């Protein structure tokens, strides 16, 4: 009973071995991550079109719930740039930012996403992540990073930028170019430049001055906080808000409130598709980060349980004034590098953020939005990776097409259409690749029991025997392709008496493929050619035995291709080669 419960509540497992040293490491990591998350959470909330406190609220209970139900020891859950942008795109269609209905729609989106993730977890659908190819995801994230950065340029310049795609955003930006606020621009550009320098140059600078490595790490992670403090003081002391500098304003000094999602059919209908897309993208991003970090410590991630952990986190966000969350790359890497041993580090981070929500929010009144925009720009530009275009072009033109199409559609039509295109392209590419499987005619390598492609190797063949090796599982999309290949081969050679299907690479034969095999057997029998099979895997044989195919097969099923050649030619193959 306890082991079953521990399977769904991983905290019971790592909690048994929790000790003082682990607590110390987790607490240090929590302090570092909390320092990083305060400005980042505020910034991502604004990106989502929500009040800044929503970012902090979405980083408290969701982190605690993931710590209980998640399997990653290092993953840090909360608002992330791509999901924040997708939230703004989805919720912006049902309400205007700043309206009461906007925040309600955002937490309803979190509830729907959480419910979908939980259902997928309990149904063990973690394999869904495999349907999105890495090149497509990389293309989508690159395009999203550009959209996010462009949307924030307006805050840096002090002008309004609207639109769901790059052309609309650029048109909006240039149409308001005459309204640029010089003071805001100076603050925003200075903050952006400083944050870029912090990311690349602060740590080497501190180390050159003799600062210990751990302290240099902490100070580097605290760079955004320094930008927040300095620019906030500048606005307050110089009265810059009276000169057109947009500020955060009043942030409620309280713990997350109890909120309720709106489950009216009309709103659910409008948000369901975006919730599905956010769930899939969030899960793929989260599981990729979690598995990468777990591999470094030889730990194990359970995808199905990760779905449950992320689902619980999103439902927690829905009832505490938040919006959709997932595992973030940057904060998870910081958490890992800071020495987090268990998910308890996340729970301690949540406590730190709760303290910040209660005690520090009044200090954020004069925080310029340009600084938060600079924080977002610096964070998301690290996600932009155009090298994926060159690498995919060199390796696979089909993958390049998928990446390029995903980037162009996302930039040109927005994130929802872009991610839908990415998902569709991933499935279409899979069908294309498997609908025309590699099929090779093979022969015996002299002096061995190995069979290789006659077009690549010097091999021995027999005129009346043809061996066709199928390098793919057989299913509805490629069954007819195999039929046509075999018919074309036998029609051009009247001496053929035996056709052997070498099935070593076939893991599955669906019902459509079974019917194709029956048709091949019948057609070859009419031509007085026997159909044989070799190296059929056990699970495939089990399925074939439930049908009449083996009973009607004109030839035999051989354990190995070597045995098939020896029996059908009447001479042991190796001996014949001597």
Q: What is the pLDDT of residue 11?
A: 77
Q: In this structure, how many other beta carbons lie within 10 angstroms of the beta carbon of residue 396? A: 15
DSSP bridge partners of 462: 465
* Confidence band of 137 (pLDDT split at 50, 70, 90): confident
Task: Give the strand pairing for 326-327 and 77-78.
Answer: antiparallel
CA dist 485 and 477 (Å) reads: 14
Which residues lie closer than 8 Å to 20 by C-beta, 6 or more apart? none
Task: Give the strand pairing for 465-470 and 439-444.
Answer: antiparallel
- Mean pLDDT within 336-343: 78
pLDDT tens readout for residues 206-230: 888 888 887 787 778 777 888 888 9
Which residues lie closer than 8 Å to 527 by C-beta, 6 or more apart? 490
Task: Give the strand pairing for 326-327 and 439-444.
Answer: unpaired
Q: What is the pLDDT of residue 110?
A: 95
Cα atoms in the 13 Å half-sphere on the side-chain side of 555:
25
Indicate whether 461 pLDDT > 70. yes
Homologous superfamily of the 439-577 domain (CATH): STAS domain (3.30.750.24)
* Confidence band of 575 (pLDDT split at 50, 70, 90): very low
Which residues lie closer than 8 Å to 175 by C-beta, 6 or more apart? none
- Mean pLDDT within 532-537: 94
pLDDT tens readout for residues 408-450: 998 998 877 887 787 787 778 778 888 888 899 999 888 888 8
- Mean pLDDT within 480-506: 90
Alpha helices by DSSP H, 466-526 = 479-491, 511-526
Q: What is the pLDDT of residue 165?
A: 84
- pTM for this structure? 0.76
pLDDT tens readout for residues 262-315: 999 999 999 999 999 899 888 888 887 887 787 777 777 788 889 999 999 999
Question: Of the candidates 156, 214, 520, which has an alpha carbon nearest to the alpha carbon of residue 339?
Answer: 214
- What is the DSSP code string of 81-126? HHHHHHHHHHHTTTS-TTSHHHHHHHHHHHHHHHHHHHHHHHTT-G
Indicate whether 143 pLDDT > 60. yes
For residue 439, what is the enclosing H or E element? strand 439-444
Q: What is the pLDDT of residue 578?
A: 41
Q: What is the pLDDT of residue 98?
A: 67
CA distances from 480 to 31, 294, 425, 434, 515 (A): 61, 43, 23, 12, 10
Domains of the chain, by residue range, sit at 19-428, 439-577
* Confidence band of 523 (pLDDT split at 50, 70, 90): very high
DSSP state letter for 257? P
pLDDT tens readout for residues 8-67: 787 777 777 788 888 888 888 888 788 778 888 888 898 888 998 899 999 999 999 998
pLDDT tens readout for residues 392-405: 899 888 888 888 88
* Confidence band of 576 (pLDDT split at 50, 70, 90): very low
CA dist 79 and 321 (Å) reads: 13
Q: What is the pLDDT of residue 63?
A: 92
- The rounded mean pLDDT for the chain is 86
Indicate whether 106 pLDDT > 90. yes
């Amino acid at each position: 009973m306890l082991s079953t419960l521990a399977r769904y509540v991983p905290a019971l497992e790592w909690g048994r071995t929790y000790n003082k040293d682990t607590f110390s490491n987790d607490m240090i990591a929590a302090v570092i991550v909390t320092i990083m998350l305060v400005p980042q959470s505020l910034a991502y909330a604004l990106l989502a079109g929500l009040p800044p406190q929503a970012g902090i609220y979405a980083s408290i209970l969701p982190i605690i719930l993931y710590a209980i139900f998640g399997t990653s020891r290092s993953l840090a859950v909360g608002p992330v740039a791509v999901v924040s942008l997708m939230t703004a795109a989805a919720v912006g269609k049902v309400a205007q930012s700043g309206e009461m209905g906007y925040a309600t729609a955002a937490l309803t989106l979190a509830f729907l996403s959480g419910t979908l993730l939980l259902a997928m977890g309990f149904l063990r659908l973690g394999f869904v992540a495999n349907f999105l190819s890495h090149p497509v995801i990389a293309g989508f994230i690159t395009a999203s990073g550009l959209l996010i950065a462009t949307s924030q340029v307006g805050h840096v310049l002090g002008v309004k930028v609207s639109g769901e795609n790059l052309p609309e955003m650029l048109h909006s930006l240039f149409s308001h170019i005459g309204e640029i606020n010089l003071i805001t621009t100076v603050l925003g550009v200075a903050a952006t430049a400083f944050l870029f320098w912090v990311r690349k140059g602060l740590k080497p600078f501190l180390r050159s001055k003799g600062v210990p490595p751990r302290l240099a790490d902490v100070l580097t992670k605290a760079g955004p906080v320094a930008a927040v403090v300095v620019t906030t003081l500048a606005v307050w002391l110089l009265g810059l808000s009276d000169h057109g500098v947009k500020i955060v304003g009043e942030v409620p000094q309280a713990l997350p409130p109890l909120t309720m999602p709106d489950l009216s059919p009309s709103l659910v209908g409008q948000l369901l598709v975006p919730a599905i897309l956010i769930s899939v993208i969030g899960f793929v991003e989260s599981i990729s980060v979690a598995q990468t970090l777990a591999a470094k410590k030889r730990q194990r991630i359970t995808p199905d349980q990760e779905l449950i952990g992320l689902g619980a986190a999103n439902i927690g966000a829905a009832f505490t004034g938040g919006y959709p969350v997932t595992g973030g790359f940057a904060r998870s890497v910081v958490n890992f590098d800071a020495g987090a041993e268990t998910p308890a580090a996340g729970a301690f981070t949540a406590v730190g953020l709760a303290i910040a929500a209660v005690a520090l929010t009044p200090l954020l009144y004069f925080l310029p939005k340009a600084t938060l925009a600079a924080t977002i720009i610096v964070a998301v530009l690290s996600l932009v990776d155009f090298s994926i275009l060159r690498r995919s072009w060199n390796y696979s033109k089909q993958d390049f097409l998928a990446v390029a199409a995903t980037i162009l559609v996302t930039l040109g039509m927005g994130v929802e259409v872009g991610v839908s295109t990415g998902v569709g392209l991933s499935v279409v590419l899979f069908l294309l690749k498997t609908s025309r499987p590699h099929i090779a005619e093979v022969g015996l390598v002299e002096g061995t029991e190995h069979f290789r492609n006659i077009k690549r190797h010097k091999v021995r063949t027999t005129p009346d025997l043809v061996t066709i090796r199928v390098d793919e599982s057989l299913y509805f999309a490629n069954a007819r392709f195999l039929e046509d290949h075999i018919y074309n081969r036998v029609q051009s050679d009247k001496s053929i008496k035996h056709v052997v299907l070498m099935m070593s690479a076939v893991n599955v034969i669906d019902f459509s493929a079974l019917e194709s095999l029956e048709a091949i057997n019948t057609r070859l029998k009419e031509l007085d050619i026997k159909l044989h099979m070799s190296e059929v895997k056990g699970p495939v044989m089990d399925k074939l035995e439930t049908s009449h195919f083996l009973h009607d097969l004109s030839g035999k099923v051989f354990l190995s291709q070597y045995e098939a050649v020896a029996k059908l030619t009447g001479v042991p193959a190796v001996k014949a080669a001597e």
